[in-house]
Amino acid sequence: MTHFLTDDQKLVQNSVREFCQSPETQEITAAAKQAGGFPTASWEQAAAQGYIAAFVPEEYGGMGYDLTTYFVMLEELTRCGHPAANSMGAHDLGILPLLYWGTDEQKKEFLTPLGSGKSIACGAVTDPAGLTNFPQWGLTAAPDGDGIVLNGGKVMVSNAHVSDTKVIFGKPDGGHFDKVYIVPKDTAGVETGYQEKKLIPGLSDWGSINLKDVRIPAANVVKDNGFGQYWLGPSFMSIAITALVLGEGGFRMAMAYAKQRTKYDRPLHDLQAVSHKLMDMAVQLEAGRDLIYTGARLWDEGRYEEAYRLGCMSKIFVPAAANKVLHEAAILHGGVGFTPQAGIGVMWAASLQLEIAELPADVHKDFLAETYGISAGWKHGQA
């Protein structure tokens, strides 16, 4: 994407691309892919460049970039296959409530090392009973003197084990997220290391967090300060960026295949049925890109409710569009599309995760409806 980018943002984009293409980065990336699991060396390399959480203000360890510039970085890292990109969204999910709800003291203590990437965060949301099944969440938080004792667990958490700061989402009051608990990695009673298996393995740490009589000080409770859950918008858009890059990769593969494959001595894309499929892909992807980056620009202008609305829209639309694009691209490849060597079928299967991550579209449609004044009855225990 180059339209509407400033000259400075184009320079950032080119700088990230050059970084990813450097021999040193290529060597570290190859080693990470060979080893599997969380790519520590790649993470440290990206942190040294200032890419990790670059949207965090400089006073709290970040680079102070606006969200649009950060998304340009994230998109380029993802497109180039840099291993750290797989875990940056999970890190951001832990950072965002601290950034927008946290007190100055909480930001200085917890956000600063996370903003520089020297420490790693996770946002632990999903209860074993289900992500949005709030009434049946098993997590308990009992007052204990000047502290809080946590019991329960979270599942399917990215950065679950490796994270130094575990941001545990508390049971909402009134159907909206309104608090998180900051739990340092070495706190007594914290158990991790239970890795979930993904359909398509990736370079990540994805597992469970168990909390057994975990005591934290009251100062580690981060509460909604009136900002609300609008900060989820950038997190939704971040997932959409990953889906967009995946979909665009499939589109490029489909275009190349349709160009080299012939029928009646003509390129396959000369057939109207094929060219129309390709153009449908292009429209879907461009519409998704516009949703994401319009939302980012609204966020940078401080128009948070509007940006949150587009964040919900992008999470609904872009992963589904990418899945559709990859499905059509795999079919276009014929039998080749069902071979692991071609890669396109694997990409299609991988796109399913992005439709599920941080809630499927049905729930986002309820979030979206609320921005139009329509109440989601299920969130209040109603039929």
Q: What CATH class does 7-115 carry?
A: mainly alpha
At 224 the pLDDT is: 97
At 15 the pLDDT is: 98
pTM of the model: 0.94
At 98 the pLDDT is: 98
Q: How far, in Å, CA of 58 to CA of 44, rounded?
A: 18
Q: Are 274 and 268 in contact (CB under 8 A)?
A: yes
Instruction: Tell me the three state secondary structure of residue 362.
Output: helix
Q: How far, in Å, CA of 371 to CA of 373, rounded?
A: 6
Q: What CATH class does 121-223 carry?
A: mainly beta
Instruction: List the chain domain ranges.
Output: 7-115, 121-223, 228-380
At 132 the pLDDT is: 83
Q: How far, in Å, CA of 285 to CA of 263, rounded?
A: 27
Instruction: Going residue by residue through the chain, which has 383 residues, state the pLDDT in tens, using 9 for 90 and above.
Output: 567 899 999 999 999 999 999 999 999 999 999 999 999 999 999 999 999 999 999 999 999 999 999 999 999 999 999 999 999 999 999 999 999 999 999 999 999 999 999 999 999 999 999 888 888 899 999 999 999 999 999 999 999 999 999 999 999 887 789 999 999 999 999 999 888 888 888 888 999 999 999 999 999 999 999 999 999 999 999 999 999 999 999 999 999 999 998 888 888 888 999 999 999 999 999 999 999 999 999 999 999 999 999 999 999 999 999 999 999 999 999 999 999 999 999 999 999 999 999 989 999 999 999 999 998 755 555 43
Q: What is the CA radius of gyration of the chain?
A: 21
Q: Are 56 and 95 in contact (CB under 8 A)?
A: yes
Q: DSSP assignment, residue 285?
A: H
User: 346: Cβ–Cβ under 8 A, 6 or more apart, which residues?
Assistant: 200, 340
**Looking at the chain, which runs of residues are DSSP E strands?**
121-124, 140-144, 147-158, 165-169, 179-184, 190-195, 206-217, 221-223, 262-263, 266-267
> For domain 228-380, which architecture applies?
Up-down Bundle (1.20)
Q: How far, in Å, CA of 164 to CA of 277, rounded?
A: 46
Q: How far, in Å, CA of 128 to CA of 324, rounded?
A: 30
Q: How many CB atoms lie within 10 A of CB 42?
A: 23
Q: How many angstroms separate the Cα of 380 from the Cα of each of 126, 227, 337, 369, 377?
A: 18, 21, 45, 15, 6
Instruction: Tell me the three state secondary structure of residue 140.
Output: strand
